């Protein structure tokens, strides 16, 4: 069997959620796909193959039955819908797997797609006009064309049924995500890393795009409340997103703005140090299809406070504090973990146990089983 995989997202620098999934799932599929199957990874330029050492790992140790195929395209956009589409039309694999919630206009009959979430349908105001409508079109095309749709949580699967009632839910399969357990481990943080980011006090950590959908304004409001009673800091790690102007304004006008730190994107080797040093990881997002950052925090030995949102509760189970979207409730939860060491210890222990239930090897095995499954 010839299996084609879109590797373009996996080869992007400074990977965030979807790109990290694409990278990890390909890395672990390399370990489990039997030698009798041939695999082609598609990418869109030679530059993608020379980005940095971490990206090069994806191609430097390819099994003998794998190959990388570069499909050059002169434009920055529409590679998948045009150049990859032509390749799949004239040289179709037996099976095509698209891990990045995006497929060409032409795909083989046996196509499997990972559909990460439908947030743009629920919170359209959190997306730019063209991006929102492109995602709408792409989700419609995926659900029309893909024989099998993977999704990361039961919540996501239920959302597909609710938002696309015409879609046959029998074509969908729940395969949970995982995290890099070799990288996210408990330990004492390197104080040099903390000092580099101006962290000299107990701090709460948020990681994600700084945008309205992630509810960063709520985190700032809750922090402001407890700051009046405790000398703490708030570390907001991530790139600006839709609605960042409001977030930036809230920080500029905050009486404690000197203790709200926004370093932007943080390299992975430093991110683990910042996690280890946090009082708690906070994740007030309004909508998530899975919630990978809470597992990374749990495995790093950090207690988690997360939004009382279905997918996050599905992932975190009883190993996190789940709080409704009210600043007072968030401030109370944050203050509890700041002052109650026994509560912190209990959540850390539960979090570690919960995180161990997820692994990329398990995710890859379940994904491969769906990919090679005969079309339904």
Whether residue 216 is found in the same domain as residue 169: no
Q: What is the per-residue pLDDT for 74? A: 86
* SS3 call for 355: helix
* CATH number of the domain residue 115 falls in: 3.40.50.2000
**E strand or H helix at 172:** strand 172-174
- The three-state secondary structure class of 140 is helix
> 364 and 336, same structural domain?
no
The residues with which 112 forms a beta bridge, in sequence order, are 97, 148
Same-domain pairing of 257 and 158:
no
pTM above 0.85, yes or no: yes
Given this model, what pLDDT does residue 47 score?
57
**pLDDT per residue as tens digits for the range 96-154:** 999 998 899 999 999 999 999 888 888 888 788 888 888 899 999 999 999 999 999 99
Specify whether 200 is located in the same domain as 286: yes
Lowest mean pLDDT among 15-24, 162-171, 235-244, 267-276: 15-24
What is the average pLDDT across 298-303?
Answer: 95
Query: Between residues 304 and 46, which one has the greater pLDDT?
Result: 304
Q: Is the pLDDT of residue 54 over 80?
A: no
Q: Do 295 and 242 belong together in one domain?
A: yes
Q: Could you tell me what percent of the chain has a pLDDT over 90?
A: 73
Residue 59 has pLDDT above 80, yes or no: no
Q: Are residues 44 and 24 in the same domain?
A: yes
CA 52 to chain centre: 21
- Domain extent at residue 138: 2-178+359-371
Average pLDDT over residues 20-26: 92
pLDDT digits (tens, 9 = 90+) for 198-249: 999 999 999 999 998 999 999 999 999 999 999 999 999 999 988 899 999 9
Q: What is the mean pLDDT of residues 287-312?
A: 94
**pLDDT on residue 244:** 93
Please state the rounded mean pLDDT for residues 144-170: 94
Quick one: pLDDT band at residue 155, thresholds 50, 70, 90? very high
Q: What is the mean pLDDT of residues 302-322?
A: 95
Report pLDDT for 75.
Answer: 81
* Cα distance between residue 247 and residue 206, in whole Å: 14
Do 97 and 161 fall within a single domain? yes
Instruction: Please tell me the predicted confidence (pLDDT) of residue 191.
Output: 87
pLDDT at 60 over 80: no
State yes or no: pLDDT of 56 exceeds 70: no
- pLDDT band for 4, please (50, 70, 90 cuts): very high
In angstroms, rounded to a whole number, what is the distance separating the alpha carbons of residues 61 and 26? 12
Instruction: Name which residue leads in pLDDT, 51 or 85.
Output: 85
- The answer to whether residue 184 sits within a structural domain is no
As a whole number of angstroms, the distance between CA 337 and CA 269 comes to 26
Say if 268 falls within a structural domain.
yes
Could you give the number of structural domains in the chain? 2
User: Has residue 7 been placed in a domain?
Assistant: yes
Question: Given this model, what pLDDT does residue 91 score?
Answer: 96
Domain membership of residue 330 (yes or no) is yes
Q: Do both 199 and 344 map to the same domain?
A: yes
CA distances from 33 to 7, 92, 146, 179, 376 (A): 16, 19, 21, 20, 21
Round the average pLDDT of the chain to a whole number and report it: 91
With a CB cutoff of 8 Å and minimum separation 6, the contacts of 106 are 85, 86, 88, 89
pLDDT band of residue 73 (cuts 50, 70, 90) is confident
Above 90 in pLDDT, residue 164? yes
Same domain, 340 and 223: yes
Q: Is residue 183 part of a domain?
A: no
Residue 186 lies in a domain: no
Largest CA distance in the chain: 66
| Domain co-membership, 230 together with 316 | yes
- What pLDDT sits at residue 149? 96
In a domain, 363, yes or no: yes
**Cα angle: 357, vertex 360, 363; to 5 degrees:** 85
pLDDT tens for 250-299 read 999 999 999 999 999 888 888 999 999 999 999 999 999 998 899 999 99
**What is the model's pLDDT at position 184?**
85
* 232 and 137 in a common domain: no
DSSP 374: P
Label residue 49 by pLDDT band (50, 70, 90): low
Residue 359 has pLDDT above 60, yes or no: yes
Query: Do 113 and 197 fall into the same domain?
Result: no
């Amino acid at each position: 069997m010839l299996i084609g995989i879109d590797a373009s997202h996996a080869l992007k620098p400074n990977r965030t959620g979807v790109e990290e999934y694409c990278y990890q799932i390909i890395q672990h599929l390399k370990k489990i796909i039997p030698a009798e199957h041939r695999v082609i990874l598609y990418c869109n330029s030679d530059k993608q193959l020379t980005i940095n050492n971490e990206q090069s790992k994806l191609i430097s140790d390819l099994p003998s039955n794998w190959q990388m195929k570069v499909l050059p395209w002169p434009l920055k956009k529409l590679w998948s819908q045009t150049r990859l589409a032509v390749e799949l039309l004239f040289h179709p694999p037996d099976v095509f797997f698209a891990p990045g919630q995006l497929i060409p206009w032409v795909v083989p009959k046996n196509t499997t797609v990972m559909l990460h979430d439908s947030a743009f349908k629920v919170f359209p105001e959190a997306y730019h006009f063209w991006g929102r409508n492109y995602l709408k079109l792409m989700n419609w095309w995926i659900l029309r064309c893909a024989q099998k749709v993977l999704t990361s949580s039961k919540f996501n699967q239920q959302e597909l049924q609710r938002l696309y009632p015409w879609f046959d839910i029998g074509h969908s399969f729940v395969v949970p995500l995982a995290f890099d357990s070799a990288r996210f481990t408990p330990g004492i943080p390197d104080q040099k890393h903390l000092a580099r980011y101006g962290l000299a006090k107990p701090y709460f950590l948020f990681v994600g795009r700084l945008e309205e959908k992630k509810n960063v304004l709520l985190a700032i409001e809750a922090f402001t409340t407890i700051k009046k009673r405790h000398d703490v800091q708030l570390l907001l790690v991530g790139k600006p997103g839709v609605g960042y102007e409001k977030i930036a304004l809230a920080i500029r006008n905050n009486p404690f703005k000197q203790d709200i730190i926004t370093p932007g994107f943080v390299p992975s080797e430093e991110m683990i140090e910042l996690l280890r040093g946090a009082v708690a990881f906070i994740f007030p997002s309004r909508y998530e299809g899975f919630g990978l950052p809470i597992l990374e925090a749990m495995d790093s030995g950090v207690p988690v406070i997360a939004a009382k949102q279905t997918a996050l509760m599905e992932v975190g189970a009883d190993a996190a504090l789940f709080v409704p979207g009210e600043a007072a409730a968030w401030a109370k939860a944050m203050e509890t973990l700041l002052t109650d060491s026994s509560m912190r210890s209990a959540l850390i222990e539960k979090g570690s146990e919960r995180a161990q239930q997820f692994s990329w090897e398990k995710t890859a095995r379940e994904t491969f089983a769906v990919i090679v499954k005969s079309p339904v």
